[in-house]
Chains A and B, each alone.
Chain A
Amino acid sequence: MEPAAREQERLRWRSRRGLLEMDLILQRFLDRHLATLSVQDTQAYDVLLDLPDNDFLDLVMGRAEPADDRLGPVLEKIRQS
């Protein structure tokens, strides 16, 4: 597989989380969007994946908003998934 595909697989593995809620949401998001994510959204997703699970879940459930505007578009896609 070409490098882009490997990068996607890396993101897929990093989407394995400690909280079941996050596993379920991110799996839906990946199935729907991973193949077609833009470069910017891919980078933003990588930043989100570095968050602690509970903080990430708060963002996804809309209990908090991201500090960085660039995370907005991909977060919206995750929220819709």
Chain B
Amino acid sequence: MTLSRQIFDTVIVGGGGSGLRAALQLAEAGHNVAVFSKVFPTRSHTVAAQGGIGASLGNMQEDHWLWHMYDTIKGSDYLGDQDAIEYMCRKAAEVVYELEHFGMPFDRNPDGTIYQRPFGGHSQNFGERPVQRACAAADRTGHAMLHTLYQRNVRARCQFFVEWMALDLIRDYEGAVVGIVALEMETGDVMVFQSKATILATGGAGRIYQSSTNAFINTGDGLGMAARAGIPLEDMEFWQFHPTGVAGAGVLITEGVRGEGGILLNANGERFMERYAPNMKDLASRDVVSRAMDQEIKEGRGAGPEHDHVLLKLDHLGAEVINKRLPGIREIALKFAHVDPVREPIPVVPTCHYQMGGIPTNYYGQVVVPRGANPSEPVPGLYAIGECACVSVHGANRLGTNSLLDLLVFGKSAGDHVSEWLKTHPRHRDLPRNAAERSLERLARLDNSTSGERVTEVAADMRRTVQQHAGVFRTGTLLTEGVEKIREVGQRARSTAIGDKSRVFNTARIEALELENLAIVAEATLVSAQAREESRGAHAREDFKERDDKNWLKHSLWYLDGSRLDYKPVNLQPLTVESFEPKIRVY
């Protein structure tokens, strides 16, 4: 079967902050660019970001990119690559000022400079005291960023394919990426898009967890596409959790609630944080609280009929304090937990928030894979940026505000690198003969399915498995069981059936395809976590409580083929400054 085909210089999969930033760089340089998005670009998940963009502008107190670099490396628990981190922190001011010139409505100081907020983990002079580094646009930073970049892309005549789902990468016989196969939702048509360069910017896969702050579209499609094309996924055991997401919903309850005196209780009504952190109690750091909560649940002291959450009690604060100092919390609790916190506690669980791992890249956004003696050989024609990529600036733990920064810096650098690439690679490479075979087979399976499990059932089992076995509290036994279970789920995800066979806006079909991608990410997560016998950043093992730099100062690489693991060294060598040697992390 021959499919119709369109040809572009560059194809970008993803219209979130990173995809739009890269598109702009290319479109303004005069290249013809196609951006694909499952949803209207300004409804990408970047819209959820409120906190801000980190950059050492020094508008509030003295600041320096080197201090930002130190904070990022320390935050990463030394798993971040120091060349990429130096690159990001040095470029931060430039990309923020550019965004300002594009029309981003940043909050301002009375003197007209950009106002900067405080944010955890950011410090002056190598950890001496906190510094205000986050540039924000009220509580709509991500929203403002998307709108600013989108408008500018329209002006630069970037071409958008909205409500299209990319299915697979096309690689030729030499391994170069020569385009994608994509599905138009409105018609059900499948088409080949041939390109000289392809950029994946599909965002995170936080929906592999039962409890997640991520929107439903975050299904890791780019990771699935890369893995199916033989590209490994890096550091997938590292996921950042927030301690208090509403159980069953994932919506965040801000830390401020515990700041105002809210306390956590287990099923027996015990204030368990007194046991885990006698001094700080409920105000201990995010990872400590999350781990304690998860341990209470795993040891059978969870609340509710399924013993699967703990309780955040604030009724003792009284209606007046709740209404006055925690506006919005009552609203959220009523809407998403169906409880009134003035009278009842809110059921909460540690909730997946951010994916540190992803498709391995260098700081030009080029996707890199081990080949022979070289651990990082670029895949010709393929780039990845944003949350789907692992460059790796976040290492084992991301610092707040560094993700939006990552989108801007590496979106731009990938755009620039592609521009150079197009100069030296002016012609399209030929498409291989079976270019769309894999995608068509996946679609044919669903179209011909007469019996099989429902997508929602398999998806629910996957989320439960990942939550239970690769949550915050991890042990060898839990992980080993989890690996077995998730392999089974993976098989089931590839043999689902859908009742709706029509072509037009067939959401059942889209969800089945998304589930295949999620299942790949889930397996990568469990297998990588099971193998890593140490605790580092967000990966905390009960049976290996210490960081082990001798054996584990290295990146995991998981391959779909054979579910195999490989490793590559962490780059401890910055571009121009001296290396920050691993130290014990204390705050």
Contact = CB atoms under 8 A, between A and B. Distances in A.
Nearest to B185: A13
A9 B216 contact: no
Q: Which of B45, B48, B214, B251 has the most CB of A within 10 A?
A: B48
A9 B507 CA distance: 7
A10 interface: yes
B404 to A, nearest CB: 14
A68 to B, nearest CB: 20
A1 B500 contact: yes
B93 interface: no
A65 interface: no
Interface string B470-506: 0000000000000000000000000000001010111
B140 interface: yes
Nearest to B212: A20
A18 B331 contact: no
Q: Which of B45, B185, B216 has the most CB of A within 10 A?
A: B216
Nearest to A10: B505
Contacts of A22: 215
Interface in B150-171: 163
Interface string B305-340: 000000000000000000000000001000110000
A61 B331 contact: yes
B251 A12 contact: no
Interface stretch (B35-43, B234-242, B385-393): B35-43
Interface string A22-47: 11110000000000000000000000
Contact of A20 (B147, B185, B213): B213
B507 A54 contact: no
Contacts of A76: none
A16 interface: yes
Interface string A1-16: 1000010011011101
B48 A19 contact: yes
A70 interface: no
Contact of B216 (A16, A52, A54): A16
B555 interface: no
B395 interface: no
A9 B186 CA distance: 10
B137 to A, nearest CB: 11
Given A16-B38, A52-B143, A53-B47, A9 B214 contact: no
Interface in B28-70: 38-39, 42-48
Given A13-B185, A13-B510, A20-B214, A6 B48 contact: no
A77 interface: no
Given A19-B215, A20-B213, A20-B250, A9 B42 contact: no
A19 B331 contact: no
Nearest to A61: B331
A24 B249 contact: yes
A17 B215 contact: yes
B372 to A, nearest CB: 42
Contacts of A61: 331, 335
Contact of A18 (B39, B212, B213, B500): B39
Nearest to B249: A24
A23 B502 contact: no
B20 to A, nearest CB: 13
Contacts of B506: 9
Nearest to B206: A20
Contacts of A13: 163, 185, 505, 507, 510
B217 interface: yes
B504 to A, nearest CB: 5
A17 B48 CA distance: 10
Contacts of B39: 14, 16-18
Nearest to B42: A52
Interface string B227-260: 0000000000000000000000111000000000
Contacts of B46: 18
Nearest to A79: B335
A21 B245 CA distance: 12
Interface string B332-354: 00011000000000000000000
A53 B143 contact: yes
B185 A18 contact: no
A18 B143 CA distance: 10
B47 A54 contact: yes
Interface string B197-241: 000000000000000111111000000000000000000000000
A9 B504 CA distance: 8
A6 B140 CA distance: 34
A24 B331 CA distance: 14
Given A19-B47, A24-B249, A12 B215 contact: no
B242 to A, nearest CB: 12
A50 B44 CA distance: 14
B251 A16 contact: no
Contacts of A14: 39
A41 to B, nearest CB: 19
Nearest to A81: B335
A18 B505 contact: no
Closest 7 pairs between A and B when the two form their complex, measured CB to CB:
A18-B47, A9-B505, A18-B43, A10-B505, A6-B504, A23-B216, A20-B215
23 contacts: A1-B500, A6-B504, A6-B505, A9-B504, A9-B505, A10-B505, A16-B43, A17-B43, A17-B215, A17-B216, A18-B46, A18-B217, A19-B47, A19-B215, A20-B251, A21-B251, A21-B335, A52-B43, A53-B143, A54-B47, A54-B140, A61-B331, A61-B335
Interface of B: 38-39, 42-48, 140, 143, 147, 163, 185-186, 212-217, 249-251, 331, 335-336, 500, 502, 504-507, 510
Interface of A: 1, 6, 9-10, 12-14, 16-25, 52-54, 61
Given A1-B500, A18-B215, 9 more contacts: A6-B502, A10-B505, A20-B216, A20-B249, A20-B250, A21-B251, A22-B215, A23-B215, A53-B143
